[in-house]
Amino acid sequence: MALLAATVWAQAPGANYDEAKVGNFTLPDPLRMQSGQMVKDAATWRTKRRPEILRLFEETVYGRTPAARKIEYEMVNQAKDALGGKATRKQVTVWPVGRPGPTMHILMYLPNARKGAVPVFLGLNFGGNQAVQPDPAIAITKNWVRPPRHSKETRATEASRGAEASRWPVEMIVSRGYGVATVYYGDLFPDNKDGLPDSIIPKMYKPGQKARAPEDWNAIGAWAYGLSRALDYLEKDTDVDAKRVAVLGHSRLGKTSLWAGAQDERFALVISNNSGEGGASLARRNFGETVERINTAFPHWFNDNFKKYNTRVNDLPVDQHMLIALIAPRPVYIASAQEDQWADPKGEFLAGKGADPVYRLLGTDGMGAAQWPGVHQPVMTRIGYHLRAGKHDVTNYDWDQFIKFADRHMPKR
Ligand code: GCU
Protein backbone atom coordinates (compact mmCIF):
# COMPACT_ATOMS: atom_id res chain seq x y z
CA MET A 1 0.00 0.00 0.00
CA ALA A 2 0.95 3.60 -0.51
CA LEU A 3 1.76 4.24 3.10
CA LEU A 4 3.98 1.22 3.29
CA ALA A 5 5.97 2.46 0.31
CA ALA A 6 6.55 5.79 2.02
CA THR A 7 7.59 4.05 5.21
CA VAL A 8 10.12 1.80 3.49
CA TRP A 9 11.54 4.79 1.67
CA ALA A 10 11.89 6.73 4.89
CA GLN A 11 13.77 3.99 6.74
CA ALA A 12 17.16 5.19 5.63
CA PRO A 13 20.18 2.98 6.11
CA GLY A 14 22.49 4.23 8.81
CA ALA A 15 19.85 4.52 11.51
CA ASN A 16 20.98 3.12 14.84
CA TYR A 17 19.20 0.01 16.13
CA ASP A 18 21.82 -0.95 18.69
CA GLU A 19 20.86 -0.23 22.30
CA ALA A 20 24.57 -0.13 23.21
CA LYS A 21 25.09 2.79 20.83
CA VAL A 22 22.25 4.98 22.08
CA GLY A 23 24.66 6.87 24.32
CA ASN A 24 23.99 8.97 27.39
CA PHE A 25 21.63 11.88 27.43
CA THR A 26 20.00 14.10 30.01
CA LEU A 27 16.36 15.02 29.63
CA PRO A 28 15.21 18.51 30.57
CA ASP A 29 13.37 18.37 33.88
CA PRO A 30 9.69 19.01 33.19
CA LEU A 31 9.37 20.54 36.66
CA ARG A 32 12.23 23.01 36.28
CA MET A 33 11.36 26.39 34.83
CA GLN A 34 13.66 27.96 32.21
CA SER A 35 14.66 30.35 35.01
CA GLY A 36 15.92 27.42 37.08
CA GLN A 37 13.07 27.67 39.59
CA MET A 38 11.57 24.30 40.57
CA VAL A 39 7.83 23.68 40.28
CA LYS A 40 6.57 22.36 43.61
CA ASP A 41 2.81 22.66 43.36
CA ALA A 42 -0.03 22.17 40.91
CA ALA A 43 -0.80 25.90 40.72
CA THR A 44 2.72 26.79 39.58
CA TRP A 45 2.57 23.99 37.01
CA ARG A 46 -0.75 25.27 35.71
CA THR A 47 -0.05 28.99 35.61
CA LYS A 48 3.70 29.04 34.84
CA ARG A 49 5.41 25.87 33.68
CA ARG A 50 2.66 24.40 31.49
CA PRO A 51 2.30 27.62 29.45
CA GLU A 52 6.09 27.87 29.22
CA ILE A 53 6.43 24.32 27.82
CA LEU A 54 3.55 24.86 25.41
CA ARG A 55 5.28 27.98 24.10
CA LEU A 56 8.58 26.11 23.72
CA PHE A 57 6.90 23.39 21.63
CA GLU A 58 5.27 26.07 19.49
CA GLU A 59 8.52 27.93 18.99
CA THR A 60 10.87 25.03 18.40
CA VAL A 61 8.90 22.00 17.19
CA TYR A 62 5.34 22.15 15.85
CA GLY A 63 4.87 25.88 15.32
CA ARG A 64 2.36 28.38 16.54
CA THR A 65 -1.31 27.79 15.77
CA PRO A 66 -3.28 30.96 14.99
CA ALA A 67 -6.41 31.74 16.99
CA ALA A 68 -9.24 29.40 16.01
CA ARG A 69 -11.91 30.63 13.64
CA LYS A 70 -15.55 29.92 14.36
CA ILE A 71 -16.69 26.87 12.41
CA GLU A 72 -19.78 26.50 10.29
CA TYR A 73 -21.20 23.10 9.48
CA GLU A 74 -23.90 21.29 7.54
CA MET A 75 -25.32 17.81 8.06
CA VAL A 76 -24.94 16.19 4.64
CA ASN A 77 -26.73 12.95 5.46
CA GLN A 78 -27.68 10.67 8.26
CA ALA A 79 -28.65 6.98 8.18
CA LYS A 80 -30.00 5.10 11.19
CA ASP A 81 -29.49 1.68 9.59
CA ALA A 82 -25.71 1.58 9.23
CA LEU A 83 -23.77 -1.59 10.17
CA GLY A 84 -26.89 -3.71 9.78
CA GLY A 85 -28.90 -1.47 12.09
CA LYS A 86 -26.34 -1.29 14.89
CA ALA A 87 -25.23 2.26 14.18
CA THR A 88 -26.21 5.66 12.93
CA ARG A 89 -23.87 7.02 10.29
CA LYS A 90 -23.54 10.77 9.86
CA GLN A 91 -21.59 12.76 7.30
CA VAL A 92 -21.05 16.38 8.21
CA THR A 93 -19.28 19.11 6.24
CA VAL A 94 -17.36 21.60 8.36
CA TRP A 95 -15.77 24.91 7.33
CA PRO A 96 -12.80 24.95 9.73
CA VAL A 97 -11.52 28.44 8.90
CA GLY A 98 -14.88 30.06 8.21
CA ARG A 99 -17.20 30.19 5.25
CA PRO A 100 -16.49 30.62 2.41
CA GLY A 101 -13.31 28.58 2.72
CA PRO A 102 -11.95 25.06 2.59
CA THR A 103 -14.13 22.25 3.91
CA MET A 104 -13.42 19.13 5.94
CA HIS A 105 -15.73 16.16 6.14
CA ILE A 106 -16.57 14.28 9.32
CA LEU A 107 -17.71 10.67 9.07
CA MET A 108 -19.29 9.32 12.25
CA TYR A 109 -20.77 6.08 13.50
CA LEU A 110 -22.77 6.18 16.73
CA PRO A 111 -24.17 3.11 18.49
CA ASN A 112 -27.95 2.81 18.12
CA ALA A 113 -28.07 1.00 21.45
CA ARG A 114 -27.22 4.26 23.21
CA LYS A 115 -29.11 5.85 26.04
CA GLY A 116 -28.24 9.51 25.78
CA ALA A 117 -25.05 11.09 24.56
CA VAL A 118 -22.12 8.76 23.86
CA PRO A 119 -18.36 9.11 24.28
CA VAL A 120 -16.46 9.22 20.99
CA PHE A 121 -13.05 8.29 19.61
CA LEU A 122 -11.95 10.98 17.15
CA GLY A 123 -9.04 10.58 14.76
CA LEU A 124 -7.80 11.58 11.34
CA ASN A 125 -7.47 9.01 8.57
CA PHE A 126 -4.85 8.58 5.83
CA GLY A 127 -6.83 7.67 2.74
CA GLY A 128 -10.10 9.60 2.82
CA ASN A 129 -13.26 8.74 4.74
CA GLN A 130 -14.22 6.19 2.09
CA ALA A 131 -11.14 4.14 3.06
CA VAL A 132 -12.40 3.69 6.64
CA GLN A 133 -15.36 1.44 5.78
CA PRO A 134 -16.47 -0.45 2.66
CA ASP A 135 -19.75 1.46 2.69
CA PRO A 136 -20.85 2.82 -0.72
CA ALA A 137 -22.71 5.69 0.95
CA ILE A 138 -19.49 7.32 2.15
CA ALA A 139 -18.46 10.24 -0.04
CA ILE A 140 -15.09 9.73 -1.74
CA THR A 141 -12.63 12.51 -1.00
CA LYS A 142 -12.01 14.88 -3.89
CA ASN A 143 -8.74 16.10 -2.38
CA TRP A 144 -5.18 15.03 -3.12
CA VAL A 145 -4.35 11.54 -1.87
CA ARG A 146 -1.01 9.78 -1.76
CA PRO A 147 -0.75 7.81 -5.02
CA PRO A 148 -0.97 4.02 -4.66
CA ARG A 149 2.25 2.13 -5.30
CA HIS A 150 3.36 2.14 -8.98
CA SER A 151 0.86 4.87 -9.72
CA LYS A 152 0.81 8.64 -10.06
CA GLU A 153 -2.94 8.88 -9.45
CA THR A 154 -3.56 11.47 -6.75
CA ARG A 155 -7.38 11.25 -6.86
CA ALA A 156 -9.11 8.58 -4.79
CA THR A 157 -11.13 5.99 -6.69
CA GLU A 158 -13.80 3.40 -5.86
CA ALA A 159 -10.96 0.91 -5.33
CA SER A 160 -9.96 2.74 -2.14
CA ARG A 161 -13.25 1.99 -0.36
CA GLY A 162 -12.48 0.16 2.88
CA ALA A 163 -8.72 0.14 2.23
CA GLU A 164 -8.04 1.27 5.81
CA ALA A 165 -10.89 -0.70 7.42
CA SER A 166 -8.62 -3.00 9.43
CA ARG A 167 -7.44 0.08 11.32
CA TRP A 168 -11.00 1.21 12.11
CA PRO A 169 -12.91 -1.72 13.69
CA VAL A 170 -16.10 0.31 13.76
CA GLU A 171 -18.40 -2.58 14.74
CA MET A 172 -16.24 -3.46 17.73
CA ILE A 173 -16.06 0.16 18.88
CA VAL A 174 -19.81 0.70 18.51
CA SER A 175 -20.68 -2.60 20.21
CA ARG A 176 -18.73 -1.44 23.26
CA GLY A 177 -20.71 1.75 23.62
CA TYR A 178 -18.52 4.28 21.83
CA GLY A 179 -18.98 6.38 18.77
CA VAL A 180 -16.23 6.97 16.27
CA ALA A 181 -15.58 10.11 14.23
CA THR A 182 -12.97 10.63 11.56
CA VAL A 183 -11.76 13.24 9.08
CA TYR A 184 -9.39 12.87 6.14
CA TYR A 185 -6.13 14.62 7.07
CA GLY A 186 -5.69 15.79 3.48
CA ASP A 187 -8.70 18.08 3.97
CA LEU A 188 -6.43 20.22 6.16
CA PHE A 189 -3.00 19.84 4.56
CA PRO A 190 -2.13 17.59 1.58
CA ASP A 191 0.69 15.44 2.95
CA ASN A 192 3.54 16.30 0.61
CA LYS A 193 6.32 18.86 0.70
CA ASP A 194 4.49 21.08 -1.79
CA GLY A 195 1.18 20.85 0.06
CA LEU A 196 1.25 24.25 1.78
CA PRO A 197 -0.57 26.34 -0.89
CA ASP A 198 -3.47 23.87 -0.88
CA SER A 199 -3.62 23.67 2.92
CA ILE A 200 -5.67 25.76 5.35
CA ILE A 201 -2.52 27.63 6.44
CA PRO A 202 -2.48 30.45 3.82
CA LYS A 203 -6.20 30.90 4.43
CA MET A 204 -5.33 31.95 7.96
CA TYR A 205 -2.54 34.42 7.11
CA LYS A 206 -2.91 37.82 8.73
CA PRO A 207 -3.83 40.68 6.40
CA GLY A 208 -0.79 41.36 4.20
CA GLN A 209 1.04 38.18 5.24
CA LYS A 210 2.63 36.30 2.32
CA ALA A 211 4.72 33.58 3.91
CA ARG A 212 5.23 31.58 7.08
CA ALA A 213 7.66 32.75 9.77
CA PRO A 214 10.17 30.18 11.15
CA GLU A 215 8.08 29.61 14.28
CA ASP A 216 4.79 29.27 12.39
CA TRP A 217 2.77 26.09 12.16
CA ASN A 218 3.06 23.48 9.42
CA ALA A 219 1.27 20.25 8.46
CA ILE A 220 1.10 18.68 11.93
CA GLY A 221 -0.22 21.97 13.30
CA ALA A 222 -2.87 22.16 10.58
CA TRP A 223 -3.95 18.56 11.15
CA ALA A 224 -4.20 19.17 14.91
CA TYR A 225 -6.23 22.31 14.23
CA GLY A 226 -8.65 20.17 12.23
CA LEU A 227 -9.10 17.80 15.19
CA SER A 228 -10.02 20.72 17.43
CA ARG A 229 -12.52 22.02 14.88
CA ALA A 230 -14.02 18.54 14.64
CA LEU A 231 -14.42 18.73 18.42
CA ASP A 232 -16.15 22.11 17.99
CA TYR A 233 -18.68 20.27 15.85
CA LEU A 234 -19.00 17.35 18.29
CA GLU A 235 -19.83 19.87 21.03
CA LYS A 236 -22.87 20.87 18.99
CA ASP A 237 -24.05 17.31 18.30
CA THR A 238 -26.46 16.30 21.06
CA ASP A 239 -25.87 12.58 20.38
CA VAL A 240 -22.25 13.05 21.50
CA ASP A 241 -20.90 13.55 25.01
CA ALA A 242 -18.25 16.10 24.06
CA LYS A 243 -16.79 15.96 27.58
CA ARG A 244 -15.77 12.38 26.75
CA VAL A 245 -13.97 12.64 23.45
CA ALA A 246 -10.74 10.67 23.08
CA VAL A 247 -8.42 11.93 20.35
CA LEU A 248 -6.27 9.28 18.70
CA GLY A 249 -3.95 8.78 15.79
CA HIS A 250 -1.46 6.42 14.20
CA SER A 251 2.09 7.25 13.24
CA ARG A 252 2.33 10.81 11.84
CA LEU A 253 -1.27 11.15 12.94
CA GLY A 254 -0.25 9.93 16.41
CA LYS A 255 2.23 12.82 16.55
CA THR A 256 -0.77 14.93 15.58
CA SER A 257 -3.15 13.54 18.23
CA LEU A 258 -0.55 14.24 20.93
CA TRP A 259 -0.07 17.81 19.73
CA ALA A 260 -3.85 18.31 19.49
CA GLY A 261 -4.37 16.89 22.99
CA ALA A 262 -1.51 18.98 24.38
CA GLN A 263 -2.95 22.23 23.04
CA ASP A 264 -6.66 21.61 23.46
CA GLU A 265 -7.62 20.63 26.98
CA ARG A 266 -11.17 19.83 25.95
CA PHE A 267 -9.90 16.42 24.77
CA ALA A 268 -10.66 14.14 27.71
CA LEU A 269 -8.20 11.43 26.72
CA VAL A 270 -5.31 11.21 24.27
CA ILE A 271 -3.99 8.15 22.41
CA SER A 272 -0.78 7.83 20.45
CA ASN A 273 -0.35 4.73 18.30
CA ASN A 274 3.19 4.05 17.01
CA SER A 275 3.80 7.81 16.82
CA GLY A 276 7.60 7.59 17.04
CA GLU A 277 9.93 10.51 16.32
CA GLY A 278 8.25 13.86 16.86
CA GLY A 279 5.48 11.98 18.67
CA ALA A 280 5.85 9.91 21.81
CA SER A 281 9.46 8.85 21.39
CA LEU A 282 12.35 10.79 22.87
CA ALA A 283 14.32 12.96 20.43
CA ARG A 284 17.49 12.63 22.51
CA ARG A 285 17.55 8.83 22.21
CA ASN A 286 19.53 7.95 19.11
CA PHE A 287 17.51 4.91 18.08
CA GLY A 288 15.58 4.47 14.82
CA GLU A 289 14.41 7.67 13.19
CA THR A 290 16.18 10.92 14.11
CA VAL A 291 15.20 14.58 14.11
CA GLU A 292 17.50 15.18 11.13
CA ARG A 293 15.99 12.33 9.17
CA ILE A 294 12.39 13.31 9.80
CA ASN A 295 13.02 16.96 8.94
CA THR A 296 14.76 15.93 5.72
CA ALA A 297 12.17 13.39 4.56
CA PHE A 298 9.17 15.42 5.72
CA PRO A 299 10.14 19.12 5.69
CA HIS A 300 6.49 20.14 5.76
CA TRP A 301 5.54 18.50 9.08
CA PHE A 302 7.27 20.62 11.73
CA ASN A 303 8.10 24.33 11.83
CA ASP A 304 11.31 25.74 10.37
CA ASN A 305 12.97 26.32 13.74
CA PHE A 306 12.93 22.56 14.43
CA LYS A 307 15.39 22.08 11.55
CA LYS A 308 17.97 24.07 13.51
CA TYR A 309 18.17 21.13 15.92
CA ASN A 310 18.86 18.49 13.24
CA THR A 311 22.40 17.85 14.45
CA ARG A 312 22.09 19.18 18.00
CA VAL A 313 19.07 17.56 19.59
CA ASN A 314 20.58 17.95 23.05
CA ASP A 315 20.10 21.71 22.72
CA LEU A 316 16.33 21.39 22.33
CA PRO A 317 14.66 23.11 25.30
CA VAL A 318 12.09 20.30 25.31
CA ASP A 319 11.87 16.58 24.72
CA GLN A 320 8.81 14.50 24.04
CA HIS A 321 8.16 13.52 27.68
CA MET A 322 7.22 17.18 28.10
CA LEU A 323 4.65 16.87 25.32
CA ILE A 324 3.04 14.04 27.28
CA ALA A 325 3.25 16.19 30.42
CA LEU A 326 1.19 18.90 28.70
CA ILE A 327 -1.68 16.41 28.62
CA ALA A 328 -1.56 15.92 32.41
CA PRO A 329 -3.57 15.18 34.44
CA ARG A 330 -5.77 13.85 31.62
CA PRO A 331 -5.33 10.16 30.74
CA VAL A 332 -2.87 9.43 27.94
CA TYR A 333 -2.18 6.07 26.31
CA ILE A 334 0.97 5.28 24.35
CA ALA A 335 0.93 2.21 22.10
CA SER A 336 4.12 0.73 20.62
CA ALA A 337 4.73 -2.23 18.32
CA GLN A 338 7.64 -4.59 18.68
CA GLU A 339 8.66 -4.65 15.02
CA ASP A 340 8.27 -0.90 14.72
CA GLN A 341 11.89 -0.23 15.64
CA TRP A 342 11.94 2.88 13.42
CA ALA A 343 9.59 4.49 15.98
CA ASP A 344 11.77 3.40 18.95
CA PRO A 345 9.25 1.59 21.19
CA LYS A 346 11.47 1.91 24.24
CA GLY A 347 11.85 5.65 23.64
CA GLU A 348 8.04 5.87 23.48
CA PHE A 349 7.79 4.18 26.87
CA LEU A 350 10.49 6.41 28.36
CA ALA A 351 8.68 9.56 27.25
CA GLY A 352 5.59 8.35 29.12
CA LYS A 353 7.74 7.56 32.11
CA GLY A 354 9.38 10.97 31.88
CA ALA A 355 5.99 12.66 32.27
CA ASP A 356 5.29 10.70 35.46
CA PRO A 357 6.57 13.38 37.92
CA VAL A 358 4.09 15.89 36.48
CA TYR A 359 1.18 13.42 36.63
CA ARG A 360 2.06 12.64 40.23
CA LEU A 361 2.40 16.29 41.19
CA LEU A 362 -1.15 16.69 39.87
CA GLY A 363 -2.39 13.89 42.12
CA THR A 364 -2.66 10.93 39.73
CA ASP A 365 -0.96 7.52 39.73
CA GLY A 366 1.16 8.49 36.70
CA MET A 367 2.93 5.67 34.88
CA GLY A 368 2.46 2.41 36.77
CA ALA A 369 5.40 0.50 35.26
CA ALA A 370 8.89 1.01 36.64
CA GLN A 371 10.51 -0.83 33.71
CA TRP A 372 9.66 -1.07 30.03
CA PRO A 373 6.99 -3.81 30.01
CA GLY A 374 7.24 -6.90 27.84
CA VAL A 375 5.00 -7.75 24.90
CA HIS A 376 1.24 -7.74 25.62
CA GLN A 377 1.48 -6.47 29.20
CA PRO A 378 -0.62 -3.33 28.99
CA VAL A 379 -0.22 -0.73 31.72
CA MET A 380 -3.54 0.89 32.59
CA THR A 381 -2.56 3.69 34.99
CA ARG A 382 -3.27 7.34 34.06
CA ILE A 383 -0.30 7.20 31.72
CA GLY A 384 -1.04 3.94 29.89
CA TYR A 385 1.28 1.95 27.67
CA HIS A 386 1.57 -1.26 25.72
CA LEU A 387 4.02 -3.01 23.46
CA ARG A 388 2.20 -5.16 20.91
CA ALA A 389 3.77 -7.94 18.86
CA GLY A 390 3.96 -7.20 15.15
CA LYS A 391 4.53 -4.30 12.85
CA HIS A 392 3.77 -0.61 12.47
CA ASP A 393 -0.03 -0.63 12.23
CA VAL A 394 -3.29 -0.26 14.17
CA THR A 395 -4.86 -3.60 15.06
CA ASN A 396 -7.83 -4.92 17.02
CA TYR A 397 -5.43 -5.64 19.87
CA ASP A 398 -4.58 -1.94 20.03
CA TRP A 399 -8.25 -0.95 19.93
CA ASP A 400 -9.14 -3.46 22.61
CA GLN A 401 -6.66 -1.75 24.95
CA PHE A 402 -7.81 1.75 23.95
CA ILE A 403 -11.40 0.82 24.81
CA LYS A 404 -10.42 -0.78 28.13
CA PHE A 405 -8.37 2.30 28.96
CA ALA A 406 -11.28 4.58 28.04
CA ASP A 407 -13.69 2.42 30.08
CA ARG A 408 -11.47 2.92 33.07
CA HIS A 409 -10.55 6.58 32.66
CA MET A 410 -13.61 8.04 30.91
CA PRO A 411 -16.21 6.14 32.93
CA LYS A 412 -19.73 5.85 31.60
CA ARG A 413 -22.06 8.29 33.29
C1 GCU B 1 7.53 7.49 8.19
C2 GCU B 1 8.09 8.52 9.13
C3 GCU B 1 7.53 8.35 10.53
C4 GCU B 1 6.02 8.32 10.49
C5 GCU B 1 5.57 7.26 9.50
C6 GCU B 1 4.07 7.22 9.26
O7 GCU B 1 8.01 6.22 8.53
O8 GCU B 1 9.50 8.42 9.11
O9 GCU B 1 7.96 9.42 11.36
O10 GCU B 1 5.49 8.10 11.77
O11 GCU B 1 6.14 7.52 8.24
O12 GCU B 1 3.37 8.20 9.44
O13 GCU B 1 3.62 6.15 8.82
The pLDDT value recorded for residue 171 is 98
Pairing of strands 383-388, 332-337: parallel
Q: How far apart are CA 104 and CA 110, in angstroms?
A: 19
Question: Quick check: 3 pLDDT over 60?
Answer: no
Q: What superfamily does domain 50-409 belong to in CATH?
A: Alpha/Beta hydrolase fold, catalytic domain (3.40.50.1820)
Q: Is the CB of 313 under 6 A from ligand 1?
A: no
Q: Return left, alpha or beta for 56; rule: phi > 0 is left, psi -120 to 50 is alpha, else beta.
A: alpha
| 327 close to 263: Cβ distance less than 8 angstroms | no
Q: Determine whether 392 is an active site residue.
A: yes
Residue 7 beta carbon below 6 angstroms from any ligand 1 atom: yes
Find out whether the beta carbon of 195 lies less than 6 Å from any atom of ligand 1.
Answer: no
Contact between residue 42 and residue 364 where contact means Cβ atoms under 8 Å apart: no
The model's pLDDT over 354-395, given as tens digits with 9 standing for 90+, comes to: 999 999 999 999 999 999 999 999 999 999 999 999 999 999
Pocket of ligand 1, candidates 3, 164, 252, 281: which has the most ligand atoms within 8 Å of its Cβ, to mutate? Answer: 252
pLDDT score for 302: 98
Q: Does position 127 have pLDDT exceeding 70, yes or no?
A: yes
Q: What is the mean pLDDT of residues 68-84?
A: 98
Triad 9, 190, 341: Cα angle to 5°:
35
251 is annotated as an active-site residue: yes
Q: Where are the domains of the chain?
A: 50-409
Ligand 1, residue 274: give the atom nearest the CA. Answer: 10
Beta bridge partners, 89, equal 79, 109
Contact at 8 Å (CB) between 267 and 135? no
Q: What is the DSSP string of 300-351?
A: TTS-TGGGGGTT-GGG-S--HHHHHHHHTTS-EEEEEETT-GGG-HHHHHHH
Mean pLDDT for the stretch of residues 124-145: 97
Using the mean position of ligand 1's atoms as its centre, give its distance from the Cα of residue 85 in Å. 37
Which residue in 300, 386, 392, 409 is the catalytic one? 392
Using the predicted structure, report yes or no on whether residue 8 has a pLDDT greater than 90: no
CB of 289 shorter than 6 A to ligand 1: yes
pLDDT of 2 over the 70 cut: no
Which pLDDT does position 11 carry in this prediction?
Answer: 58
Which residue among 342, 344, 394 has the greatest number of ligand 1 atoms within 8 angstroms of its CB, and so is best to mutate? Answer: 342
Catalytic residue among 251, 275, 281, 336: 251
pLDDT tens string 393-407: 999 999 999 999 999
Rounded distance from Cα 148 to ligand 1 centre (Å): 16
Which residue's CA is the nearest one to ligand 1's atom 8?
10
User: 222 in ligand 1 pocket by Cβ < 6 Å?
Assistant: no
Residue nearest to atom 11 of ligand 1 (CA): 7
